Amino acid sequence: MKAIIGASALIAAFLALPISAHAQSEVVVWVAGEPGQTTVYDDLAAAFNAQNAATTVTVVKNSSDLFNPALIPALSAGEGPDLFSFGTGPGQPAALIAGGLVADLTDAYFEHGWGATIPAGIVAQTSSDGKLWAFGNEVETTGMFYNKAIFSDHGIEVPTSWAEMEVVVSKLQQAGFDTPIGLGAADKWPISHWQSMMFGRYAGPEGIESVLFGDGAWTDAPFVAASAKLQEMGKAGWFGPTPVAIGYGELMDRFWAGEVPMTFTGPWVIGGGTEATGDRIGEFGVFAVPPIEDEQKIHPTNSIGSGWYIRESSENKEAAIDFLNFMFTSTEGRVALLNAGTVPVGPLDTALAEAKMPVLAVDIWKASDDHAANGSVPAFLDTITPGSLTTVSYDGLQALLLDVMTAEEFAAEMQNAWVAAKEAGEIMLPGGIAER
Amino acid sequence: MFSYPDSKWAQRLNPVLFLLPALTIYAVFALYPTYSVIEYSFTDWDGIRPERNFVGLENYQRLFTDKIFWEAFRNTFIWSGVIIVINVGLGLVIAAMLARVWKARLLIQTCIVLPVVISPMAVATIWRWMYQPAGVINQVLENIGLGALATPWLGSPDAVLYALALAHSWSTIGLSVIIFLAGLQAVDEDLYEAARVDGANPFQAFRFVTLPALRPVTAVVFILTLTQSFKVFDIVWATTQGGPIRFSEILSTYMYKRGALENQYGYGSAIGVALLVIVSIATILYMQIQNREDR
């Protein structure tokens, strides 16, 4: 009899195992980013898993270069991540949406009150046809990182006008710095940060929007003028004698080592910089690039870094939404993001009170906030325009720096690619979702 | 006890049965993907939407008018030419010299072969670092009095393709050397002895004994080098992504950009098929020339 009871208990235990395994949801999350830049998502997953016994979140990271080429075949095969970060704006997710690969998040938006967190402007960039496709999670910005010690040693003040900026560059060149502003243009994409900022300065937020959502063209005068100015700065040696020969990683190593006094980049470098410099991180600061022409204003470069999408065929949509809520709407998640230098969208009062943001992150956001009233422009045009335009822009920006293409030719190539993408249906119409 | 079937059918079937596992793997992992690429090349598939529309030869017609394709085509030929000269030409010379070296031969051989086992991404990282304007290569040139030759290797439109081809050869020449060495060991020593008796100097012995004897081995190395160089992707992508501008754009990186980054899988597949055809034609031509010379 004992043997029968024992055997029955064993069988019951064996049968129970798969049941409990099925009850456990596993949410696979794919994040694009370089090593060291996305560790906050590991921490968030660990904290979430500790609080949610029924769900296990696994974060998989892949370098930015290889992320999309790995993601798209996976999604097309009905596999891949349950939750993933991907580009937004009018030019990036149109094909994913049209292909039915991403889930409609409109119900979740209303059910979880995301409207209190996600500003309408960001909803507009992540929606189409009245449906929300992505949770626009974090705000990114860019600014001029500089070495305070070098500035101090050479009697240089932070510039507040373009004339002062020219003096800064000139003094640094005279002091023997052959690269006053590091660019890392061998990797192509860092130049697009300059492009986005300068297009914004010359065209303003309305000018950019008129192209993205209206009848404006990349060949309009402000974009040509911005491209010509960038080329002129390159010719004058602002970015060093050979900016397209130096990679971004090598440039940042030289910047943190004090060999390059300035570089225009974003808060994602702060984690790596703190690791590289330790206590010396206090020697670095951030300022807003002054207006380039007399009539210009400083338009802060603000973009949502990316949006978070849920795979349409995922069996763990609800668990994925729970994790999204934990990351971006719970105070715990928002504080963790802020501590890592990442600024989540929406009101920050509660989270900021608890957060200990890196000083450089505070500096860059202060530089941005000081000019917020002027209206902001996208920080990364390359993440909101189609891949075909990005290829043309990247090559064209290198061509400008090598002085083998004119600003007019560059603008014309961009416009041709933009028109072709529009004709191919790769550009989404302005978004927004109706209130319920 | 197992008895070996002796019927004619069984004897014909046996080789097929033995080959079947390998053929199955080859069919699943090589033939089917190749067939798929050819099939996609006749469609407008974007890699995302489930539907694929047949567009006939449209993608191939586009190749003929696509100036970037032809830039990449030209670059690929220069790239392969440089690599073939180094891996076949220099590889043969190194192997011939190594065959005559006894002291420290194993050490030298190991040094030459070692880069072959390094991951291509690691190779790219090493050379990317060495090719920086203030990198090791330029520093060495400065220190030996050849500072005039120092250049921003990865940013120079004139130098970048050759610089990357050299880096690729560094990581692959070891394989050529090993194959040539194996071939050299099979050359009958009596032939060298006869050449010496006839008054041949070492260069003449190399020209009239070694080279003809190594003809089949050279064909293998040539074809291996050619196919490898045409399909190279990682070292170029990890160092320059085809830049500056498109000066190091080769067909494989261009195929990746169009197919994977711009979601034009149909067109990207057409570029892939073009690459396949070019390599096949080059290989067949070389084999025919070899066969004609052998006759």
Query: Tens digit of pLDDT for each residue in A50-93?
Result: 999 999 999 998 877 778 888 988 988 888 999 999 888 766 78
Query: In this predicted model, what pLDDT tens digit does every residue of A162-178 receive, in sequence order?
Result: 999 999 999 999 999 99
Which residues contact residue A318 at a Cβ distance below 8 angstroms, ignoring those fewer than 6 apart? Answer: A25
Does any domain span residue B8? no
- Write down the pLDDT at residue A21: 44
Please report the pLDDT score of residue A34 as a whole number: 66
Domain of B215?
43-294
Does residue B251 register a pLDDT over 80? Answer: yes
Q: Is A248 exposed, middle or buried (0-12, 13-18, 19+ CB in 10 A)?
A: buried
Of B50, B128, B153, the CB nearest to A99: B50
B30 found inside a domain? no
What is the overall mean pLDDT for chain A? 88
Closest CA to A188 of A247, A231, A252, A233: A247
Tell me whether A243 touches chain B (CB under 8 Å). yes
What is the CB-side half-sphere exposure of residue B90 using CA atoms within 13 A? 16
Using the predicted structure, report yes or no on whether residue B105 has a pLDDT greater than 90: no
Q: How many domains does chain B have?
A: 1
- Kindly state the greatest CA–CA separation across chain B: 78
pLDDT value of position A302: 83
Q: Which of B236, B261, B265, B267 to mutate to test the interface with A (most CBs of A within 10 A)?
A: B261
Nearest to A69 among B132, B244, B260 (CB): B260
Would the pLDDT of A16 be above 80?
no
Distance CA A202, CA A198 (A): 6
The percent of residues above 90 in pLDDT, for chain A, comes to: 56
Confidence class for position A20, pLDDT limits 50, 70, 90:
very low
Q: Which of B261, B263, B269 to mutate to test the interface with A (most CBs of A within 10 A)?
A: B263
Coil, strand or helix at B199 = coil
Q: Let me know if residue B204 belongs to a domain.
A: yes
Which chain A residues have a beta carbon less than 8 Å from that of B243?
A: 186, 188, 244, 394-395, 398
**Cβ-nearest to B155 among A68, A98, A242:** A242
Q: Which two tokens stand for residue A367?
A: 């530089």
Residue B241 lies in a domain: yes
Per-residue model confidence (pLDDT) at position A19: 43
Read off the pLDDT of residues A87-132 as tens digits, 9 standing for 90 and up: 887 667 888 888 889 999 999 999 999 988 888 878 888 888 889 9
Which amino acid, one-letter code, is at A35? P
Look-up: residue for tokens 């596993």?
A26
* Between B294 and B86, residue with greater pLDDT: B86
Of A75, A99, A398, the CB nearest to B245: A398
Q: Do the beta carbons of residue A190 and residue A184 sit within 8 Å?
A: yes
A378-391: burial string, b at 16+ Cβ within 10 Å, e else: bbbbbbbbbbbbbb
Cβ of B48 within 8 Å of Cβ of A76? The answer is yes
Is the predicted pLDDT of residue B3 greater than 60, yes or no?
Answer: no
Domains, chain A, ranges and CATH?
7-139+303-374 (3.40.190.10), 143-299+385-423 (3.40.190.10)
B194-211 confidence digits (pLDDT tens): 999 999 898 898 889 989
CB contact under 8 A, B48 and A96: yes
Residues of A in contact with B246 (CB under 8 A): 395
Query: How confident is the model at residue A68, as a pLDDT?
Result: 82
Strand A25-32 and strand A83-86: the pairing is parallel
Closest by CA to A56, choosing from A44, A64, A48, is A48
Whether the per-residue pLDDT at A363 is higher than 70: the answer is yes
Q: What is the pLDDT of residues B162-179, one digit of tens each?
A: 999 999 999 999 999 999
Q: How far is B144 from chain A (nearest CA, A)?
A: 23
Asked if the structure places residue B5 within a domain, the reply is no
**Cβ neighbours of A205 (radius 10 Å):** 15
The beta-carbon neighbor of A388 closest among B153, B240, B262 is B262
CATH number at residue B241: 1.10.3720.10
Average of per-residue pLDDT across B29-33: 94
Predicted local distance difference test score (pLDDT) of residue A2: 56
* CB neighbourhood size of A17 (10 A): 9
Side chain identity at residue B182, one-letter code: A
B38 found inside a domain: no
Total beta-carbon pairs less than 8 A apart between chain A and chain B: 94
pLDDT of residue A434: 77
pLDDT in tens, A411-429: 999 999 999 998 888 877 7
Least CA distance to A95: which residue of chain B?
Answer: B48
Q: Which residue of B lies nearest to A390 if distances are taken between CA atoms?
A: B262
* Chain A contact present for B261, CB below 8 A: yes
Of the listed ranges A6-10, B34-38, B85-89, B246-250, the least confidently predicted one is: A6-10
Helix (H, G, I), strand (E, B) or coil at B14: helix
Specify the pLDDT at position B26: 94
| HEC per residue, chain A | CHHHHHHHHHHHHHHHHHHHHHHCEEEEEEEECCCCCCHHHHHHHHHHHHHCCCEEEEEEEECHHHHHHHHHHHHHCCCCCCEEEECCCCCCCHHHHHCCCECCCHHHHHHCCHHHCCCHHHHHHCEECCEECCEECEEEECEEEEEHHHHHHCCCCCCCCHHHHHHHHHHHHHCCCCCCEECCHHHCHHHHHHHHHHHHHHHHHHHHHHHHHCCCCCCCHHHHHHHHHHHHHHHCCCCCCCHHHCCHHHHHHHHHCCCCCEEEECHHHHHHHHHHHHHHHHHEEEECCCCCCCCCCCCCEEEECCEEEEECCCCCHHHHHHHHHHHHCCHHHHHHHHHCCCEECCCCHHHHHHCCCCHHHHHHHHHHHCCHHHCCECCCHHHCCCHHHHHHHHHHHHHHHCCCCCHHHHHHHHHHHHHHHHHCCCCCCCCCCCCC
Mean pLDDT of B235-247: 94
Candidate from A330-334, A351-355, B43-47, B75-79 with smallest mean pLDDT: A351-355
Q: Please tell me the predicted confidence (pLDDT) of residue A22.
A: 46
In a domain, B233, yes or no: yes
Coil, strand or helix at B101: coil
| Chain B touched by A101 (CB under 8 Å) | yes
Residues 22-41 of B with CB under 8 A from A: none
CA dihedral B151, B152, B155, B157 (to 10 degrees): 0
The one-character DSSP state at B39 is H
Q: Is the pLDDT of residue A365 over 90?
A: no
Question: Which chain A residues are closer than 8 Å to B45 by Cβ?
Answer: none
Predicted confidence at residue B82, as pLDDT, reads 97
Question: B152: nearest CA in chain A?
Answer: A245
The yes-or-no verdict on residue B269 having pLDDT over 90 is yes
Spatial separation of the C-alpha atoms in residues B199 and A433, rounded to whole Å: 91
Residue B4 belongs to a domain: no
Phi, psi of A13 (to 5 degrees): -65, -40
CA gap B138, B135 in Å, rounded: 6
Q: In chain A, what residues touch B47 (CB-CB under 8 Å)? A: 72-73, 76
Please state, in angstroms and rounded to a whole number, the distance separating the CA atoms of residues B93 and B177: 9
- Quote the mean pLDDT of chain B: 91
* pLDDT for the residue numbered A17: 47
Q: How confident is the model at residue A12 (pLDDT cuts 50, 70, 90)?
A: low
CA distances from B257 to A390, B193, B217, B249, B251 (A): 10, 56, 36, 10, 10
Lowest-confidence region among A20-29, A96-105, A279-288, B240-249:
A20-29
The partner residue sitting opposite B133, judged by closest CB among A100, A245, A387, is: A245
Chain A residues lying within 8 Å of B261, measured CB to CB: 68-69, 387, 390-391
Predicted TM-score (pTM) above 0.95? no
CA–CA min distance B111, chain A (Å):
28
Q: Please tell me which of the candidates B131, B246, B263 has its beta carbon nearest to residue A395.
A: B246
pLDDT at residue A18, as a whole number: 46
